Amino acid sequence: MDSFRASLSSLPDKRTGKNSRYEMLDAGLSAFSVFFTQTPSFLANQRKMAKTKGHSNAQSLFGVHQIPSDNHIRDLLDGVPVERLYPVFDDILQVLKATHQLSAFRSFADTLLMPLDGTEYFSSTKIHCPHCSTRQLNSGEVRYFHTVVTPVIACPGRREVIPLVPEFIVPQDGHDKQDCENAAAKRWFQKHAERYRDLKITVLGDDLYCHQPLCELLLSEQFDFILSCLPTSHKTLYEHLEGISLPTVVKPHWTGRTEQTYTYRYLNQVPLRDSDDALLVNWCELLITNAKGKILYQNAFATNHLITDDNVEAIVTAGRTRWKVENENNNTLKTKGYNLEHNFGHGQNQLAAFLATLNILSLLFHTLLALNDTKYRLLRAHLSTRKTFFDDLRALTRYVCFDSWDHLLTFMIEGLELEVPADTS
């Protein structure tokens, strides 16, 4: 929170006159509090609490001095570059590194797996801004939308993911063509590779990313990769697989109910495209069949990791982890209370992206607490669902004013008649 407040305190303020009753810090913290508590009415409730009790949870829990109106918040934050929030992502990553939580996410080849994917977070046929992307509908209408590429750190067998700095798909100066997910992914590595390079990362992604320019960029920035590789978009590669006996590993797999067969095939040093300068990659495939031979799953990957009989299963397991960016991050942000796709405010400059970044940060804060805070972890483990936790949080912060987050968590633990942990570090 100290790092977060420091970033918000330094936000550029477009106001030039004396109308500065509310600080930029208050606007940023107020917006963040809505996402963190998953309570759209949080600020309205806290204004009422401040009137009746003289103080509120917005003050004690988030450090808001005065709560601006919703429209005032939108106006103040519109135009603030989202990059001003990015240092908070890095500071939290350093906390996870210092507390050895990041090491627990290492998997194949002792690397951190970093899946990335694009997701749409705003769409309208009426509301739009200069940063919107567009598509023509069959009806002739123009649909305006915003999309963001969301990299995370993930690990097979772990539900949590660690959100990293996002990259927004927006019209680029000097470019006639509309911005796209692949171009945004390239920008992410061009901007942030130096900061993340020492973490020893293997990048995961779908077939959209499995093309030579991005793969070459990853290698030049010292990132490994395992990317989905489909026959429809890699004809040259698959032609090199025809007519030869591929190294094959067959393993039985018991699901607990049925017997399945996992068949792995692979080949090293095959060209990624049809050109003299084609990048040579290593290819592997997983085919899952049931006892009757019916295909249940089939996918293939291209990687720079050398593939052997001993590691092909681990490489495929790592490659399949790319789904966690969609399931545990994007889907969580959209359907688990964060309401990423809700139009909290669109603005005419960067408001939509700024609010989306605050929303992603709120998920990262909850992830940090789930990994590092004893009281928070105890509550989440005891309460049956995520929904129960946030329902309780909404009700308590509406009716009771707490001195601090520790006071709130202790109150919840005692209410559940659990033993209060002595140490929350």
Q: Provide the number of structural domains found in the chain.
A: 1
* Domain presence at residue 45: yes
Assign 203 a pLDDT band (cuts: 50, 70, 90).
Answer: very high
* Domain presence at residue 403: yes
User: Which among 155, 176, 180 is positioned nearest to 167, based on CA atoms?
Assistant: 180
Residue 134: φ, ψ to 5°: -135, 155
Lowest mean per-residue pLDDT among 138-142, 160-164, 306-310: 138-142
Report the SS3 class of residue 66: coil
pLDDT tens digit sequence for 287-310: 999 999 999 999 999 999 999 999
Question: d(Cα 358, Cα 223) in Å, to the nearest integer?
Answer: 28
User: By percentage, how much of the chain surpasses pLDDT 90?
Assistant: 92
Residue 383: φ, ψ to 5°: -75, 140
Decide if pLDDT at 270 tops 60: yes
- Please give the average per-residue pLDDT across 271-299, as a whole number: 96
- Residues 285 and 247 sit within 8 Å (Cβ to Cβ): no
* Domain presence at residue 304: no
User: Which among 360, 364, 357, 363 is positioned nearest to 82, based on CA atoms?
Assistant: 357
Assign 30 a pLDDT band (cuts: 50, 70, 90).
Answer: very high
DSSP labels for 253-285?
Answer: EE-SSSEEEEEEEEEEEEESSSSTTPPEEEEEE
**Full residue range of the structural domain in which residue 60 is found:** 2-82+347-415
* Domain presence at residue 387: yes
Report the SS3 class of residue 94: helix
Report the SS3 class of residue 6: helix
* Domain presence at residue 198: no
Decide if pLDDT at 195 tops 80: yes
Residue 39: φ, ψ to 5°: -130, 100
* Domain presence at residue 35: yes
* Domain presence at residue 22: yes
Helix-strand-coil percent breakdown of the chain, rounded to 5? 45, 20, 35
* Domain presence at residue 89: no
Assign 17 a pLDDT band (cuts: 50, 70, 90).
Answer: low
pLDDT at res. 15: 78
pLDDT at res. 174: 65
pLDDT tens digit sequence for 340-395: 999 999 999 899 999 999 999 999 999 999 999 999 999 999 998 999 999 999 99
pLDDT at res. 2: 87
